[in-house]
Structure 1
Amino acid sequence: MKAIVMEQYGHADVLNYTEIDEPELKPNDILIEIKATSVNPVDWQIREGYLQQAIPYEFPLIIGWDAAGVVKKIGSDVSKFSVGDEVYSSPDMMRNGTYAEYVAVDENMVAKKPRNLTFEEAASIPLVGLTAWTCLVDVAKMTAGERVFIQGGPGGVGSFAIQLAKAYGCWVATTGSGKNVDFLKQLGADQVINYEEENFEDVLSPVDIVLDTLGGDVQNRSFKVLKKGGRLTSTTTAPDEQLANDYEVNAYQVSMGRDGKTLAKIAELLESEKIKPVVEHVMNLSDVKEGHRMSATGHARGKIVLKVH
């Protein structure tokens, strides 16, 4: 099969478009013929070697953690899917990923593709959707009527999280640059703070939940806008425990849950159009180096999708 294969860590030029054997199936695996995958910041962070202390990868390595495609084969113990099913998934990061024509995935990490989405649209969803869901639903226990603040609204996680919070009946504020203000309002944000012109802590009334996708100083300042007993979830660095104690709030560093049942719930929200995919660019898998460069600027709006088949 064709795949983007890494033989070492490094800059984008370590991504080689080449031939490699199809993955072998374990009894609970399905083999997905990938129609589209997408670029997430974790992809180039792994490629650069930033995560090698946390995840000791072996080479050759295929990265990429989103897939939308068709079931080609099933393992001997698979019970939930059949050959020919249209599916989407964010596979196990400890195995080879989705920058390839095929990927083997445990069936419990897979769900049926939303019927109303193209493969390219569906491929934009799993990792960011599961990340936002884990932060807001599983960890922060978001409920209708709460005030939710999303740091970094235009990105993949942020743009999904805004829509997810609105679907749950929450009031939502977010941050973005001036050029993204109208876009963020279209996603449903009730208050959009242009970080180029104002500090969020000066203009935002206290909130119940902060979802931080940025880390660093922005994360530390986010404690100022939380109500006592509020919840901060971070997709980046671990929050400062002392600050959490000082402000009398709960703060969590979140690892995404990979669960097909959650992906099925997300599919329902997509099919009812309570959430819509945000795809800024679609390019061929062979152009992945450019996709990584675009993602690494930190200014991509929504997702960068790679067509495979």
Structure 2
Amino acid sequence: MKALVLKRYGATDSLAFADVPRPTIKPDEILVQVYAAGLNPIDYMIPKGSFKPILKFDLPATMGSDLAGVVVEVGSRVTRFKVGDAVFASLFDLGAGSLAEYAAVPERAAAHKPANLDFVQAASIPMVGLTSWQALKERAQLRPGQKVFVPAGSGGIGTFAIQLAKQLGAIVGTTTSTGNVDLVRSLGADEIVDYKKQEFEKTLRGYDAVLGTVRGDGIEKSMQVVKPGSSIVSLIGPPDAAFAQERGMNFLMKFVFGLLSRKVIRLARKRNAQYSFLFMRPDGRQLGKIGEMLESSRIRPVIDKVFPFANAKEGLAYLEQGRAKGKVVVELVKS
């Protein structure tokens, strides 16, 4: 089968199409014919070597995390799916990739595709949906009436997180450019800061939670908008010692991550806030609950561009420009 593979880290030609063996599934896996694969920023960061200390790949490795497709084979211990089922899933951090004609998916990572979504729409959801769910519901424990700041509201994470936060009953603040104000407002954002005209840290106040999505000094600036007792959940780092502990890393990595996060943790404590770094984990049960929200149209996918499989590398390059409104998806099979 054809797949987009990572040959080596850091090289300009690190990604290439290759013919690789079709996956052989384990008893607790399903084999999925991939109809569409959603792209995420980590998909262009991994080939640069940015996550080498954290994510382990046996090179050459198939790239991609999110997929939607049809089950063509089931393992002997699989009970939730049968051949012919339409599913969606994230393979992030599972040692497999979605930018391929077929993918082996652990049963625990998959969910039935919402009936009202096509495969492209469904493939846009898993990572942003699960990340938002785990950050806002699990980590920040967002409650009705609380205020959450979701910067970069028109991006892949932002467009989903705003909608989920509204479903949780929260008041949502966000940043975006002038041209995307109407988009984020349509998703439910209550307080919108046009970053071309204003600085959010001088405008927003009294927030209970922050979802860190913007690199640079975004997390430090976000400290200025929170109130005591708030939760700051970062998706972009710095990783902390608790994250290293969670992943079973050695003492040296715990020490290094402790140093990396020392400044931001200190700043959070000054605000009587709690900082943590979140690495999304695949979870089919949670994805199923997200699917119910999508199926009832309480949340809708937001897709910027769709690239054919042959142009997957161009799709990654486009995503890296940072201008996408919502998600970028690669389509392998027209449905």
Match of 2:141 in 1: 141
Deviation at 1:264?
0.4
Aligned runs of 1:1-309 on 2, under 5 Å? 1-10=1-10, 13-238=13-238, 240-309=264-333
What's the TM-score once normalised by structure 1's chain length?
A: 0.97
The secondary structure found in structure 2 opposite 1:13 is: coil
| One-letter code aligned to 1:124 | S
| Residues 38, 327 of structure 2: 8 Å contact kept | yes
Match of 2:245 in 1: none
Q: Which runs of 5+ in 1 are unaligned?
A: none
Secondary structure of 2:185's aligned partner: helix
Q: Which runs of 5+ in 2 are unaligned?
A: 239-260
Contact 1:152 1:212 in 2 (8 A): no
Counterpart amino acid of residue 106 in structure 1: P
1:68–1:89 CA contact under 8 A, matched in 2: yes
Q: Tell me, in whole angstroms, the C-alpha distance in 2 between the residues paired with 1:159 and 1:199.
A: 20
The alpha-carbon deviation at position 62 of structure 1 amounts to 0.5
1:256 alignment partner AA: M
Deviation at 1:11, TM superposition (A): 5.3
What is the deviation of 1:299?
1.7
Quote the Cα distance in structure 1 between the aligned partners of 2:229 and 2:293. Answer: 29
Counterpart residue type for residue 275 of structure 1: I
TM-score, normalised to structure 2, is 0.90
TM superposition shift of 1:203: 1.3
**How much does 1:117 deviate?**
0.2
Shift of 1:151: 1.3
Alpha-carbon deviations, 1:124-159, whole Å to 9, x = none? 000110011111011000111111110111111111
Instruction: Please give the alpha-carbon distance, in whole angstroms, between the structure 2 residues aligned to 1:285 and 1:108.
Output: 27
**Residue-by-residue CA offset, 1:29-54 (whole Å, 9 max, x unaligned):** 10011100011100010011111121
- Percent identity for Structure 1 against Structure 2: 40
Tell me, in whole angstroms, the C-alpha distance in 2 between the residues paired with 1:282 and 1:58.
29
Given that 1:90 and 1:109 are in contact with CA atoms closer than 8 Å, whether structure 2 keeps it comes out as yes
Change (3 A) 1:288 1:10: farther
Superposed displacement of residue 169, structure 1 = 1.3
Measure, in 2, the Cα distance between the counterparts of 1:153 and 1:254.
Answer: 19
Distance 1:305 1:105 in 2: 19
Alignment deviations for residues 5-37 of structure 1 (CA, whole Å, 9 cap, x no partner): 221123563322232110111110100111000
Alignment partners' CA distance in 1, 2:62 and 2:9 = 12
State the alpha-carbon separation in 1 of the partners of residues 35 and 166 from structure 2: 30
Q: Is the CA contact (8 Å cut-off) linking 1:57 and 1:94 kept in structure 2?
A: no
| Contact 2:92/2:281, CA 8 A, preserved across alignment | no
1:143 partner SS: coil
Q: Secondary structure at the match of 2:153?
A: coil
Q: Which residue identity lines up with residue 111 of structure 2 in the other structure?
A: A
Q: Which amino acid aligns with 2:329?
A: V
